[in-house]
Amino acid sequence: MITLAFLSGTENIPLHAITQWRSGLSAADQQRIALMKGEPRKTEFVVARTLLQTLARNRLGVSAEVVSAVNTAPRLLTADGRSIACSISHSNKAILVGINTVGSIGVDVEHHRPRSVAKVVQRYFWPEGQTYFGNCNEAEGRAWFYRQWCIREALVKYQGDGNLFQLLGRPLNLSSGTIGLISQNNTRTVAVISSGGVRPELCFPKLDQNGQWEFSPLSPETDLAELTPLPNQ
């Protein structure tokens, strides 16, 4: 199973819930939080970890802890010792987590913030990509930029190593059996790379009146379109 949960914003989560979730994280995670700057960053970290663990219980029926070492991809370690691939991304209060029981996974979410994307393209992108970008209008170019950036961020996480800027310097080439998916609107891009031959399911979590996560399938209420296969680069 490949399952994803997308939370559009953390601003409506009660502070007491975040405090409770934080106290339940591992000692290693507590140390990482202590080194972070800014409460929004700490909040996103706590919510993402909790959301991933809850998704594992809800969709896989397992109790698991998120474990990770420096410069390595996180894993879900179950109570019976199994290791399950997972991935986490957050940007501007939005959080995306993913689990893959049949292969590897990398996810990325990017908020479209004001930036000179043309300078990044000219400095880091491959020549044909630069030419394509130069023929786009501003809106088309920005959307295209974030698709390229986001899918490569997901690929770095999928591989567990690699350099984003090296990947930007050449056309995307996914190995056989690897699937790339994109979802995008005017303000946000989501990308997923996975293996295992199974199409991911995408859920949207909400807190109920008791402070428990509920996971709903894609609905018209969301501002993100359904994940679609990666277009030709």
Query: Tens digits of per-residue pLDDT, 78-132?
Result: 888 888 999 999 988 889 999 999 999 999 999 998 778 999 999 999 999 999 9
Residue 144 · residue 133 · CB < 8 Å: yes
Can you give the pTM of this predicted structure?
0.86
Please report which helix (H) or strand (E) contains residue 14, including its range: none
Please report which helix (H) or strand (E) contains residue 33, including its range: helix 27-35
Q: What is the pLDDT of residue 70?
A: 62
Please report which helix (H) or strand (E) contains residue 194, including its range: strand 188-195
Q: What is the pLDDT of residue 117?
A: 92
Q: What residues pair up with 96 in beta bridges, in sequence order?
A: 6, 89
Torsion of CA 193, 196, 199, 202, to 10 degrees: -60
Q: What is the pLDDT of residue 132?
A: 93
Q: How far apart are CA 170 and CA 49, in angstroms?
A: 33
Q: What is the pLDDT of residue 10?
A: 85
Q: How far apart are CA 133 and CA 217, in angstroms?
A: 35
